[in-house]
Structure 1
């Protein structure tokens, strides 16, 4: 089954990485993140971590109208945690949305 999850960040401080819990691996469920997106803004770097491993670090400006989704293949095993957020390198500090698409099967 394909599912969508969206979060809204808090205020993003300039020069700071801000992360949020997005999705966790669960017993008996196979979860795989297949895409992620946010509103593009220069100097804001979208970041994705699986546990302590950084998987994505991309300037959100690359997620433009012609290609708004960053395709992924990120499985989450039981107990693994996916965190998402931004490193704000001097951009606006207003809250933003991050959306993922993931599959879930038994």
Structure 2
């Protein structure tokens, strides 16, 4: 059952992939995602701080709570659920799935924070 579910979910998960990280070599893709993830984390922190600095004390507390809850969701989703589902994938595939999931959710969060700012 787990394998069937994974086969159904895997195409959706792989849609998280950034086009520039699509190569024929899984190890090149992993290196690309690690670089992309590091860059996205930096962008997320900058975007968060920029928005945080424009808010009053109450807004800052709400944003902090929102960010903590989002991090719990991201970690639960990518690091636990997706990792569990991809655990039957052999080799470096599970790491690639986890990295692409994290990179995609962080990219989505950056867009969400930017929309709030406008």
TM-score range, shorter chain: under 0.3
Is the helix fraction higher in 1 or 2?
2
Q: Greater strand share, 1 or 2?
A: 1
The TM-score, its normalising length taken from structure 2, stands at: 0.24
With the length of structure 1 as denominator, give the TM-score of the two structures.
0.26
Bigger-Rg structure (1/2): 2
